[in-house]
Structure 1
């Protein structure tokens, strides 16, 4: 495969109190946001860091409500998270020593958040940056052979256990214990689903591999095949795949027609995304506001304590 481009000319915009012409306080940031259209801000910059405003857990809601007026629950999310506030979650609970590859949040689903807001409550001792990548740059940097192979889309499969097993349960995934409510959600999502004898919920969805931005029309790489495919999930997933039948794995990804995706394609997509990414190195109180279609995000490995919270709209 050809080598990807080596650098990105784009980086998130950083707005400090002096840039906004307001006081270095949560109230100052709120004043700035009331006079600014967040949608216009994202179309122009794609991702914005608000730094130096002293936002804390106590003042978070007042600021977040101006950026995300209608926060979404993380229903049908596949990442391990804990709900800690009003549709506010830990950003991920994967072990600190692992990187998380680039992705657009819930791009495997029938609907996804258009905006994401990250908040740094505790910064890592070392590492722990949130890398972000321009989705058009990522798409353009992927080998043409791979892009062509994904043209018809991605088929995602899930086996969500009934409370005991590998991966997430269907109750945690859909934030309900009600089967009928879950079934109705999946029907609205035009997903295929079935209940297995042991209570496992099997879900299959065919989704897009690329997407055109609803405002700019720019086409971007927009799928999570590499985060569902065993080749993209590290040694533990590879070991699981050796002992668990393929159709019983917690999750997997195929081409739209159900044919297997070569492992080297998955590795290539991940490596290109991480290589083209720009790190956002956290300071306590930072807010990172992201256009979830235009920009993908991930996580660098870290040491020490790290607490990044996330909300979506």
Structure 2
């Protein structure tokens, strides 16, 4: 199977009112949407002209158990009940392919995207079939990753690089954070300056889809690895700071470093195998977060894409 052999299913309002209410009625009649999403891996709804204030009714049908973005690493703003802006990186940067929260012990099964404002140019959300991504990697890379990964995070107390632990866990309650981390068997400690250092329990590089059994690439090693940092300042910091002091870093499960060329291969081949989903105002997309990785292409102009997730 080649990268072009898979693409998301597109649903347009043919025989359906081109409105939020039309989409709601369509979804109420589609009691098999979970099966459709498992089969198609990603579904795009175009031409329904859903306004932002109409989102709630649609999300209630597509995300049966909406989750908060706990343990999230990317900068985003909460704009509603477990609804967030997409990652707020500079528009000229590419966000590489990843499965949401795959470094954590809890990850969502579905992701929801909504375009409130379309970019002037670019800004597509690329999506990649996780099985194709895995197949695209050299055998030596797949073998090297087979033992799993260990992620390290340093979440400051309000002043520092990256996100604070209060932002990442949406709380100021240290005990609530500790309970979450203990549930994932992570090693953690509070540093004297209030920083929370997290060393994850070994996480897999691949997993099998819970319904189809397909093995897929499922990790965020390239986004945690200094070699893949696109920002010049971040890359310079990686040259002068040990990995365990960076906002985030990653190693193989035994603590040995991941070669730069492996990480760059993972990043580049994931992007190369991806299919771009371009955005028009009022469009929506739902993806299976295990079957499919996602990212972001660079853009110009204003781009406002909202995201939500469910278990």
Q: How does 1:17-36 map to 2 (within 5 A)?
A: 17-18=13-14, 21-36=15-30
Q: Distance in 2 between matches of 1:167 and 1:27?
A: 40
Q: Distance in 2 between matches of 1:105 and 1:236?
A: 25
The secondary structure found in structure 2 opposite 1:39 is helix
The secondary structure found in structure 1 opposite 2:72 is coil
The secondary structure found in structure 1 opposite 2:59 is helix
Q: Which residue of 1 aligns with 2:208?
A: 212
Deviations along 1:184-234, one digit per CA (max 9) or x if unpaired, are 111112111011111111101120100100000000000000000011112
Q: How does 1:1-313 map to 2 (within 5 A)?
A: 7-18=3-14, 21-36=15-30, 37-205=32-200, 206-234=202-230, 235-313=232-310
Cα deviation, residue 6, structure 1:
6.6
Deviations along 1:292-313, one digit per CA (max 9) or x if unpaired, are 0000000000000000000000
TM-score (normalised: structure 2) = 0.97
5+ residue gaps, structure 2: none
Q: Distance in 2 between matches of 1:246 and 1:289?
A: 35
Cα deviation, residue 134, structure 1:
0.4
Q: Distance in 2 between matches of 1:62 and 1:263?
A: 45
Deviations along 1:40-67, one digit per CA (max 9) or x if unpaired, are 1111211010011110111110111100
Q: Distance in 1 between matches of 2:185 and 2:63?
A: 27
Deviations along 1:9-28, one digit per CA (max 9) or x if unpaired, are 1000100010xx31111111
User: Could you tell me whether the CA contact under 8 Å between 1:6 and 1:275 is conserved in 2?
Assistant: no
Deviations along 1:101-152, one digit per CA (max 9) or x if unpaired, are 0000001110100000000000100000000000000000111100000001
User: Could you tell me whether the CA contact under 8 Å between 2:66 and 2:308 is conserved in 1?
Assistant: yes
User: Could you tell me whether the CA contact under 8 Å between 1:123 and 1:305 is conserved in 2?
Assistant: yes
TM-score (normalised: structure 1) = 0.96
Cα deviation, residue 242, structure 1:
2.1
